[in-house]
Each structure stands twice: as C-alpha cells, then as structure tokens.
Structure 1
Amino acid sequence: MARATEPTQLSLFDVAPPADPVPAVPRGDAAPSAPPAAAPPPPPPALRHPQAQREVLLGGHRVGYALRRARRRSIGFVVGPEGLAVSAPRWVGIAEIEAALQSKAAWVLRKLHEQAERQRRQQALRIEWRDGATVPFLGEPVIVVLDARVSGTVLDAGAEALPGIARLVLRVGLPEHATPQQIRDAVHGWLQRQARRIFEERCRHFEARLGVRMTRLALSSAATRWGSASADGSIRLHWRLVHLPLASIDYVVAHELAHLREMNHSPAFWDVVRSVIPDVERVRRALREHPLPPDD
C-alpha cells in the first residue's frame, strides 16, 4: 500500500505518558451538559506543577498549574508527571481559562491521581543494587548473586526459596565488595543482550506470519514508549520489555510490525494485529498496568 502521505513513524502508545491531554476547549463555547459524574478519587498529595504560576480551586482542592501562552485557537490541558499544564491563546483571559478548567475539574483530578499512582508503582520498581537483589526477567523474579569465580554473567536455576517455587539465579562475576554501579552495569548488560536475542527471535516469528520485512532492529531506552516503527522498515523496542512476560513482548512486537502494513491506528491496523494476537485487548490492558521502570 502506498505510504506517501502517511507519517514516517508511529509509537506503540504512551505507557507512562508525559502528557495526558484532554480535548481542547474552544473559546467561547459553553461546556456541554452531561449527567452528574461520579466523585473523583482522592487526589494525590502534591497538586502543584513545579512551574506553576497560578492556582485554581477544583473540587475543593487547590491545583497549581503552569500556564503557557501559545499561538493556538483553543484552550488545551495536559496532565503529566509534573502536574497540570495549560496552553491558551494570548487573547483569552484568566477567567475564561479557569472556567474551562472548572468544566473539566473531575477529569483533571482523576488524571492527577492516576499520575501519582503511576509514579508510586514506578518507585516500587526501583532496585537496590546489591548481592541478593531481585530483578524481573520475562515476568519471573531473578536473584542476583555475586560470585567472583564466575566469568561474566550466568543464569541458572537456584534452590527452591519456598516449597514448590523455583527461583532463577543470575550469577554475576563480581566480588562481594562490588559497588552498586558495577552490579547495575553488569546486570543491565546481560538484560540488554537477552533483550536483543529475544526481540530478534520474536520479530522473525511475526514477520513471517504478517508477511512484512523488518530492515533494522534497534534497542531503545525512550522515556515514554515501549516501541516504535518507521515506514522504512526499522523497528525500535525498549530493552526493558525483557522484564515483562513473553505475551507482552509479543504484543509490542506484533504491534510495531503491523505498522509496516498499516502505518496508522485505523480499524484495518487493529485487524492486522488481531490476526496474530487474538486477545489483543486483554494483553494491551495488561501492558498498560506496567509502567516503564525508572532509570535506576
């Protein structure tokens, strides 16, 4: 299919989005009537954007927001990890901006809460780099064991930590007094090598089933994307996908390869994905529950 008018690159989707925009509010338009909304969840403790110049009272909570004047025709809201940011034309007054915010108060508070929860889950993923640390690999916990007798890094089955529950052990050829940075670098190096091996294998598997050809595979460490595809056939996959179960990896791989047939997110695109991942909705929801781990 011709791609002359299609974008050259599309992302999978923002798993830990720096921005969660709400549809812009046109100037002068009254807020549409709607049935009473359910009360928003309790907001996060911090409701102030670090670059906030103004505050507004939304649903009984003071929210500090960053206001940016821009060459645009409507008011736009974005809720990201730092908080609420508003873009508005230069000729729109503060009263009109804050009236628009009031019309979206429940949405803003809900998104602030979701961002706080996402950050809490990210913090829970932080690893203390030491002998005995636990690292996820293909959805399974792996125990890091420092062993100076080992050359390089070796994965093997460890003793049963609990009856009937086998644990994997990653033996790292470092002395017991190795620094956290040394341990982190050794484990990350091993994970990235495994990521390239696994991703290449899964890409070749789905290439054949989808009838497409990948020209290049690159590992990514993007802050907000699990993967992306370009019209020239190149695929980028976040190396930290290797932490997740194979079903999640397969979904991301199939998603990006499907873009080589449909460089969009049209119904035809989702039909292509569904042809190889029949339960795409369930797998996609599960992936959204996995925030990108912090850059530890």
Structure 2
Amino acid sequence: MAGKGLDVHKLVQLALDFFDPPAAAPQPAQTGVFAPDEPPAPAGSAQAAPEKIASVPPAPAPPAVPLPSLLAPAEFRHPRANREVLLGEAVVAYALQRARRRSIGFTVGPDGLSVRAPSWVTLSGVDAALREKSGWILRKLSEARERQQRVEGGRIAWADGAVLPYLGAPLRVVLDPSHGFSGKGGALVPAAGPAGAGDGCSTGPTGLGLHIGLPRSAGPAQIRDAVQAWLMRDARRHFTARLEHFAPLLGVRWTSLRLSNANTRWGSAKADGSIRLNWRLLHYPPAIIDYVVAHELAHLRVMDHSPRFWDTVATVVPDYAALRDHLRDEPAPLW
C-alpha cells in the first residue's frame, strides 16, 4: 500500500506541474526602441516590461500651429487688382496693364504687384511668367508688407508729448500756450534753446523738445499742422545751407529751391538749376540729407544715372551707396 500511495502523490504532482508550469526565465529589459523586424511584444506578456518602457521620457510634442495658418494661404492683394494667380501657396492678386512693349514687366511696390504685358501675350502666358519668377516676387511682396507694418507702427500720434524723428534724433512736441506767437501764421513758437542757439529746439535729458504755442486742448490736426509748418521752415533753412556747401564742390550753380511733399520721391533737378527737395527728409540724419542734396546737384552735371553720374556723386559723398540703402530701407514716419 505504501508503494501505491507514493504513486498517487507523484500523479498529483505531475498534474499540478501540467496546469501550473514553473515561472519563465527572466527576459532582458526592454528599452522602448525595437528593431524594424522585431515588433514589441503584446501587452501583458513577459517581454513587454512595461515598467522599463514607462521610464523612457516621451518625445517633446511639436509646437501647436494655429488653425488659420494651416488653412488660409498667404494673400497679397493690390488695391487695383484685376487678376490673381497662385504662386506657391500664396494667392497674389495683381494689377495687370496692357502696354506697348516687347516683354512682360512686373514691379513690386507698397500697393503690391503691378504687371505690364504686351497685348499679344495671353493671360495664361502672363501667369506662367509670374510663376517662373515666383520666388523673387514673393520675397519682394513679403519685404514690402514688413516695411508697411514698420511704417504703420511708427505713425505719429499727434498730441502733447508726441515724438517724431528730427535729423535722426527724437523730437518731443510740447504744447506751451505761455509762449508768444512768431513766424508765418503764428502757430508755432520754438522753445528757448541754449544761449545763442536760436534753432527752435531745447536740449535736455529727454532729447530735443519743440514748443508750440497751442493750448493743451488743441486737436491732433492743429498740432500736426503747426509742427509741419515749423519743419518746412527749418527744412528750407537746412537745405539751402547744404546746397550752398556742395554746389561749389561739384562745380555747379543752382537757381531755386522748392519743397515737395511727395510720398515716393525725395528730390529732383532740372537743367535750369531748379532743385526740388522733400521736406520730410528732415526726419533723417544729416548724412542722408547730404546724400540727397549732392545727388540732385550732381544731376546738373550728368542728367542720368549712368556710371559717370555715380562717380560724380562719389567725389563729394564717397559712402553714397550705404546712405542710399538706408534711405530706401528706413521709411519716414506716417503723419
């Protein structure tokens, strides 16, 4: 009976081993990175090692992109646009004008893209030419938009304490009704400057100050007109002095000076010696003004923009190229 009992115990142990096998040998720890032909083991298996995978820091999520930027393409629209084309991912609405010319010409300005094309070129041909130059066009349109945004950001808010550039430095407007009126119209009274200065500006820790004889209740239009009147008088004084300085150096004679208010042109010269200069040049540093004055006087010797003309300018303003770029890249403030 003892032998039979032993056999029974062996049978019970074999049955237990069959239904409850011994624990599997430990597996190497997982790193969370798997070879392409070895996919991760299913969850719950001995190879999954979830505690090791969880210890690997997750990859940083990409920055969120606003939904409108994903859906709406960039758009550049000329105010007089009569046709539009898709350049890359940007919609460009341009002003198309037919002209008597041999080739297609396009210009990017503050308003956007303008195209002049011969009458025999089809509309699809015009669009194809724009697509061919799409990189240049989009870059120039973006630069023009950024420039316009800078201009809008520098718009002058006409009130007591308004700040505007004068000869490249900040000029603060001060409403000062205690001053008497002087000058044409009597709207603007220069503040007392340093002894003997007589230039209409006072210096102090906050820079230049321009005192105008208006009550503090004056409206924006009154303040703007008073400041403009003073600037135009000062521009004539400053420009005249620089014309008299550069004319002998260039061997030319100027006959008259007129102030202009153009938005896109800084000066002009005629063969009879008459000069036109934009009074808004007074916003820029003196070196910029000198470049424009010398530029117009040089036209009294060379009435074009040939190499000989630029050589003439360089005799009195050697760094004219850098000054010209500064004038082009830094817009005057909006009034």
Same fold (TM over 0.5): yes
- In 1, the alpha carbon distance for the partners of 2:295 and 2:123 equals 42
What residue ranges of structure 2 are gaps of 5+ in the alignment? Answer: 1-72, 182-188, 191-199
How do 1:18-97 residues align onto structure 2 when only pairs under 5 Å count? 45-97=74-126
Does the 8 A contact of 2:262 with 2:278 survive in 1? yes
Residues 46-100 of structure 1: CA distance to partner in whole angstroms, max 9, x if unpaired?
4122332332111221212222233333222122222222222233222211111
Cα distance change of structure 1 residues 185 and 66 upon mapping to structure 2, 3 Å threshold: same
Match of 1:31 in 2: none
> Hey, what does 1:143 align to over in structure 2?
172
Which one of the candidate residues 201, 217, 238 is aligned to 1:156?
Answer: 201
Identity %: 57
Per the alignment, residue 267 of structure 1 pairs with 307
Corresponding residue for residue 18 of structure 1 = none
Tell me which residue corresponds to 2:148. Answer: 119
1:235 alignment counterpart: 275
Distance change (3 Å), C-alpha of 1:98 and 1:260:
same
| 3-state DSSP of counterpart to 1:74 | coil
> What per-residue deviation string (whole Å, max 9, x for no partner) do you get for residues 127-173 of structure 1?
11100101211111111111111123213335413xxxxx1111110
Q: Please say which structure displays the higher CA radius of gyration.
A: 2
Aligned partner of 1:120: which letter?
A: Q
Equivalent position amino acid for 1:261 in 2 = R
Gaps of 5+ in 1: 1-43, 162-166
Residue 208 of structure 1: how far off its partner (Å): 1.3
Match of 2:228 in 1: 188
Amino acid in the other structure paired with 2:220: P
Q: For residue 129 of structure 1, what is the amino acid of its counterpart?
A: W
Please show how residues 105-116 of structure 1 align to structure 2 within 5 Å: 105-116=134-145
- 1:169 maps to 209
Taking a change above 3 Å as real, the CA distance of residues 267 and 73 of structure 1, as seen in their structure-2 partners, is closer
Inter-partner Cα distance in structure 2 for 1:96 and 1:58:
14
Distance in 2 (CA, whole Å) between partners of 1:276 and 1:227 is: 18
Alpha carbons of structure 1 residues 241 and 77: separation in structure 2 relative to 1, 3 Å: same
Match of 1:17 in 2: none
Q: Which has the higher helix share?
A: 2
Q: Distance in 2 between matches of 1:144 and 1:52?
A: 40
Q: Going by fraction, where is strand more abundant, 1 or 2?
A: 1
Aligned 8 A contact 1:223 1:292 in 2: no
Does the 8 Å CA contact 2:173/2:210 hold for their aligned counterparts?
A: yes
The equivalent position to 1:103 in structure 2, one of 123, 128, 132, is: 132
Paired residue secondary structure (1:47): strand
- Structure number with greater CO (CA < 8 Å, separation at least 6) is 1
CA contact (8 A) 1:52 1:64 kept: yes
CA deviation after TM superposition for structure 1 residue 199, in Å = 0.1
State TM-score, norm by structure 1: 0.79
Q: Could you say what secondary structure the match of 1:142 adopts?
A: strand
